[in-house]
Amino acid sequence: MLIAAAAVCAVSCKDPVPPEPDLSEKIIGEWQLKSIATKATLGGQTVEVYLSFETGGTFTLYQMLGQGRYHSYKGNWALADGILTGTYSTGKAWGSTYTVDITDSTLTLTSSIGGEVDTYAKTTIPENIKKEAYAK
């Protein structure tokens, strides 16, 4: 009987392992686009993108094409069953949905249209970009 009690205690007395955060919690934060792998070209222009996913399902995207200036876009996002969807503040849906893969420092979004793979690194968006971006 003592052995059975010790075995139960050994199993139940261990420190609980905290549950792994779900993707919706892990995506929250600021990200910078590091690479785009696609079958199509981007017209030869350099693209710089920062993306912030906020709690409550809102996002802000900062994008600069070529040597222009950053434009900011806001809207709402949702993540269910590993699929990311979004709508801009204008009501227009994103051009694609995305399959999501996240590690501590990398966010990979794979488009459901054309299979484009966008890789983002966890970062802090520079304050000057946030302040100077042209709102669309």
| Fold of domain 21-135 | Lipocalin (2.40.128)
Task: For Cα atoms 122, 126, 129, give the angle at the middle one, nearest 5 degrees.
Answer: 120
Identity of the amino acid at 73: Y
Gyration radius (Cα) of the chain, Å: 20
**pLDDT reported for residue 134:** 86
> What is the per-residue pLDDT across 104-118, written as a single tens digit (0 to 9) for each?
899 999 999 988 999
Q: Which residue blocks in the chain are alpha helix, DSSP H?
A: 2-12, 23-26, 127-132
Which tens digits make up the pLDDT trace of 39-92?
444 566 778 999 999 999 999 999 998 778 999 999 999 999 999 999 999 999
- Three-state secondary-structure class, residue 96: coil
Record the pTM.
0.78
**Degrees (nearest 5) of the Cα angle 15, 17, 21?**
150
Per-residue confidence (pLDDT) for residue 22, from 0 to 100? 81
Cα–Cα distance, 115 to 43 (Å, whole number): 18
pLDDT tens readout for residues 1-40: 444 444 444 445 555 655 556 888 999 999 999 988 754 4
Are the beta carbons of 79 and 100 closer than 8 angstroms? yes
Residue extents of the structural domains in the chain: 21-135
